[in-house]
């Protein structure tokens, strides 16, 4: 089986105006995360080279914040062009919040392949998780990305206290969007966050993956944040459950598995790594 590896670069971190309860980048939360307005372009290119060395096919440029303004858009485009020039065979993903069609077309012109904007959870549960923007604005951005001719990467977070019905409703919305790839994150508790919920059970997490694959058979199901913390020793069972992609290395604000360990383990299990997108 071939799996796709993606790496993330948090190119603008923290101080976000929004109040998403699961996120330590929110200005509503007191945290000790590293905050910066811009990562040096040379550093982003270096990270892209490391990602390539670690067998990644996707490389995601993430900015904290509600969405894009002209300055941020230009910065993401500059980063994309620089990475494309130095590491041309990486597929670039941008994750920059709410965006309109024109902005997304600019990203595409700069070499972005896919736009990541998660719905995060169901329409019904979202107001309990965030009050500063709407679920509908997230859905619309996904439609905008499609209209701009970008591939779509859209998923969310499980284990925030949502009900079984919420999970079904969330997946129905994903079915409407039919994303190319869908990241599944598992919520990780943090002392600084007000969201206090028990950690998901391993079997429940694996069931979420198989239910998602069943709902989205054409979509690449990617397991992202929470893989190590929630699944622990059983983390590589995700592929049997229906996942065919993972995020390697560190996440936005939390440590991930050492890429080298993932690569060794996955090779031992007979997996190969995708070098192009089908």
Strand ranges for 74-159 from DSSP E: 91-95, 114-116, 151-153, 156-158
Does 25 sit near ligand SF4 (CB under 6 A)? yes
Q: Which is nearer to ligand SF4, 247 or 263 (CB)?
A: 247
- Residues 52-71, interacting with ligand SF4 (CB under 6 A): 64, 66
The rounded distance, in Å, linking the Cα atoms of 175 and 198 is: 28
Q: Which is nearer to ligand SF4, 18 or 106 (CB)?
A: 18
Q: Is 130 annotated as a binding residue?
A: no
Q: Which single residue is written with the structure tokens 């206290």?
A: 161
Q: Is 6 annotated as a binding residue?
A: no
Which residues, at least 6 apart from 40, have a Cβ–Cβ distance to it below 8 Å?
Answer: none
Q: Which two tokens stand for residue 233?
A: 């020793």
Q: List, in sequence order, the alpha helices (H) in 178-219.
A: 202-215
Does 18 sit near ligand SF4 (CB under 6 A)? yes
The region of 17-25, 48-56, 168-176, 222-230 touching ligand SF4 under the rule CB under 6 A is 17-25
- Residues 95-134, interacting with ligand SF4 (CB under 6 A): 97
Q: Is 154 annotated as a binding residue?
A: no
Instruction: Check if the beta carbon of residue 248 is closer than 8 Å to that of residue 256.
Output: yes
The region of 20-28, 173-181, 208-216, 230-238 touching ligand SF4 under the rule CB under 6 A is 20-28
Q: How far is the CB of 263 from ligand SF4 (least distance, A)?
A: 29
Q: List, in sequence order, the alpha helices (H) in 87-125.
A: 101-109
- Residues facing residue 58 across a β-bridge: 6, 91
| Residues 79-98: x where in contact with ligand SF4 by CB under 6 A, - otherwise, as a string | ------------------x-
Torsions phi, psi for 272 (to 5 deg): -115, 165
User: Residue numbers of the site for ligand SF4 (CB under 6 A)?
Assistant: 16, 18, 20, 23, 25-26, 64, 66, 97
């Amino acid at each position: 089986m071939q799996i796709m590896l993606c790496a993330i670069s948090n190119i603008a971190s923290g101080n976000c105006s929004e109040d998403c309860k699961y996120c330590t980048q929110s200005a509503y939360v007191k945290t000790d995360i590293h905050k910066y307005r811009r990562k040096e372009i040379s550093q982003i290119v270096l990270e892209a080279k490391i990602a390539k060395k670690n067998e990644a096919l996707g490389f995601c440029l993430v900015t904290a914040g509600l969405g894009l303004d002209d300055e941020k858009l230009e910065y993401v485009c500059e980063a994309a062009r620089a990475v494309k020039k130095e590491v041309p065979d990486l597929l670039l993903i941008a994750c920059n919040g709410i965006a309109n069609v024109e902005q997304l077309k600019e990203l595409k012109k700069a070499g972005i392949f896919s736009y990541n904007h998660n719905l995060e959870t169901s329409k019904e549960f979202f107001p309990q998780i965030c009050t500063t923007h709407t679920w509908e604005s997230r859905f619309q951005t996904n439609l905008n990305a499609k209209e701009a001719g970008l591939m779509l990467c859209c998923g969310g977070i499980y284990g925030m206290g949502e009900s079984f019905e919420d999970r079904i409703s969330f997946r129905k919305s994903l079915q409407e969007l039919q994303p190319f790839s869908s990241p599944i994150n598992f919520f990780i508790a943090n002392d600084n966050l007000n969201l206090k919920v028990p950690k998901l059970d391993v079997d429940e997490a694996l069931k979420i993956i198989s239910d998602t694959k069943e709902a989205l058979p054409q979509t690449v199901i990617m397991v992202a944040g929470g893989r190590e913390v929630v699944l622990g020793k059983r983390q590589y069972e995700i592929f049997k459950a229906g996942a065919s992609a993972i995020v390697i290395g560190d996440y936005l604000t939390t440590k991930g598995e050492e890429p080298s360990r993932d690569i060794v383990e996955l090779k031992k299990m007979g997996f190969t790594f995708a070098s192009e997108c089908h």
